[in-house]
Amino acid sequence: MKKILLAIAAIVPFMAVAQDADPFSNIDELIKNTRAAETNIPGAEFPRTDSHNRVYFHYKSPNTQALTVDICSKKFEMKKDADGFFNVVTDSLPVGFHYYFLIADGISVIDPLTTTYFGCSRVAGGIEIPEGKEGDYYRPAKVPHGQVRSVQYFSETQQKFRRAMVYTPAEYETSGDKRYPVLYLQHGMGEDETGWSTQGFMQNIMDNQIAAGNVVPMIVVMDNGDVAEGFNPAKGGMNEFGASFYDVIIKDLIPMIDKTFRTKTDRDNRAMAGLSWGGFQTFNTVFNNPEVFSYAGAFSGAIFGLNTKTAYNGIFNDKDFNKKFHYFFLGCGSEENFGTENLVKQLRECGADAQFYLSEGTAHEWLTWRRCFNQFIPHLFK
């Protein structure tokens, strides 16, 4: 390991002092007025954020011709100085979590200074842009903490081992024979079963809401929706993408969870929700199996061209829909265009009591989904 350590120092954050007005001309001053991103690896001083939610990137790489930061779908070309340092300050970025990449002489790579996350169908860099008081709901607080458990199981359907991440509430450890309702919670396209507990901070949101008495203690199951590779029309239509998950959840996952954990196993105590493609998978799972679930949520759901009158055997026109489904939630960000509001309108025209939540100022991003989750969970199992 020692030998490897010597070989990896090609990009190093470094301090230097110069005279011009460029913020990087006085690195000590820059460091004093900004803070290292909480998503950095231990000891990494850059990237840093300032009070305007701008991000400062700073690398030494003399042999590189061009270095660009690719963040929030926007590219920021870095300026190289005579000593081989690359610097750039971004615009003010939306608060919350964003994937990002570096493009080094044409190759899109991961910043060696960042913690990594599975997103965008690959391993990606990530940065948490701090926000003000709002963020308290997703930060850890001095309340009883639940656990996020990695649970390995053999899928008979797929004849392979799979992994589910399972949140259990703090009281689960000491509540004896008490049984709990279960929420199945799905990530989006290009992400995996780790998304909600790393990018989403779902465990902090649950812990805080349960401690505040707003949310019923529940188990939350996050599995891989088989959409990590990203949608490829050459491999089939939208309905095929991630379709392998439908048998897994019904035939393998739910039975394994009900066998392993102290769950309540009736439909009144089972919910499902998902973000983006996971929202589409939630619709397909819940409304094709109404005997299994009684709550549904789609956060920026990738639900396009749904004929609400005929879909799922006309379930949304069922006069008993609002009795059968205790809470039906759709949310999205005001800055994205996923057609959620229009879908809600159509669902309501059918008679389905779809609740709508608009996340102000956010796009197709994790802050939208943290907010949606926070809005959704108080309505479950009451």
Residue 8 as a binder of a copy of itself (CB under 8 A): the answer is: yes
Q: What backbone torsions phi and psi does residue 255 show, to the nearest 5 degrees?
A: -60, -40
Strands 355-359 and 327-333: what pairing? Answer: parallel
17 vs 41, which CB is nearer to a copy of itself?
41
Convert 29-44 to b/e letters by CB count within 10 Å (16 or more is b): ebbeebebbebbeeeb
Nearer to a copy of itself, 117 or 287 (CB): 117
Nearer to a copy of itself, 261 or 312 (CB): 261
User: CB-wise, 84 or 361, nearer to a copy of itself?
Assistant: 84
122: contact with a copy of itself by CB under 8 A: yes
The number of CA neighbours under 13 Å toward the Cβ of 221 is: 26
φ, ψ dihedrals at 157, nearest 5°: -60, -45
Closer residue to a copy of itself (CB): 7 or 21:
7
* Residues paired with 49 in a beta bridge: 35, 55
Q: Near a copy of itself by CB under 8 A, which window of 16-24, 130-138, 182-190, 351-359?
A: 182-190
CB of 337 to a copy of itself, least distance (A): 11
Structure tokens given for 6: 């010597």
To a copy of itself, the closest distance from the beta carbon of 23 in angstroms equals 23
61 binds a copy of itself (CB under 8 A): yes
305 touching a copy of itself, by CB under 8 A: no
Check residue 298 for interaction with a copy of itself (CB under 8 A).
no
Report how many residues bind a copy of itself under the rule CB under 8 A: 69
Long-range contacts of 190-193 (CB under 8 A, 24+ apart): 190/119, 190/120, 190/121, 190/122, 190/227, 190/228, 190/229, 190/230, 191/118, 191/119, 191/227, 191/228, 192/118, 192/224, 192/228, 193/163, 193/164, 193/165, 193/222, 193/223, 193/224
Q: Which of residues 254-293 bind a copy of itself (CB under 8 A)?
A: 260-261, 276
36, 151, 211, 306: residue in contact with a copy of itself (rule CB under 8 A): 151
Q: Which is nearer to a copy of itself, 190 or 327 (CB)?
A: 190
Of residues 121 and 289, the one with the C-beta less far from a copy of itself: 121
Q: Which residues contact 368 (CB under 8 A, 6 or more apart)?
A: 299, 300, 331, 332, 333, 336, 359, 362
Judged by DSSP in three states, 320 sits in coil
User: Token pair of 299, please?
Assistant: 């956060």
Give the interface segment with a copy of itself, choosing from 144-152, 236-244, 245-253, 318-326 (CB under 8 A). 144-152
Choose between 11 and 220: whose C-beta lies nearer to a copy of itself: 11
Q: Any contact of residue 159 with a copy of itself (CB under 8 A)?
A: no
Residue 72, H or E segment = none
Residue 87 found at the interface with a copy of itself (CB under 8 A): no
Q: Exactly one of 147, 175, 310, 313 binds a copy of itself (CB under 8 A); which one?
A: 147
DSSP label at residue 78 = P
Residue labelled with tokens 């750039």: 88
Q: Would you say 153 or 312 has its CB closer to a copy of itself?
A: 153
Give helix 366-376 / helix 202-211 axis angle, nearest 10°: 30
As beta bridge partners, residue 221 has 166, 184
Out of 188, 217, 278, 331, the only residue in the binding site for a copy of itself (CB under 8 A) is: 188
The footprint of a copy of itself (CB under 8 A) covers 1-5, 7-11, 41-43, 61-65, 70, 73, 75, 99, 101-110, 112-116, 118-123, 140, 142, 145, 147-154, 161, 166, 173, 188-190, 197, 203, 228-230, 260-261, 276, 364
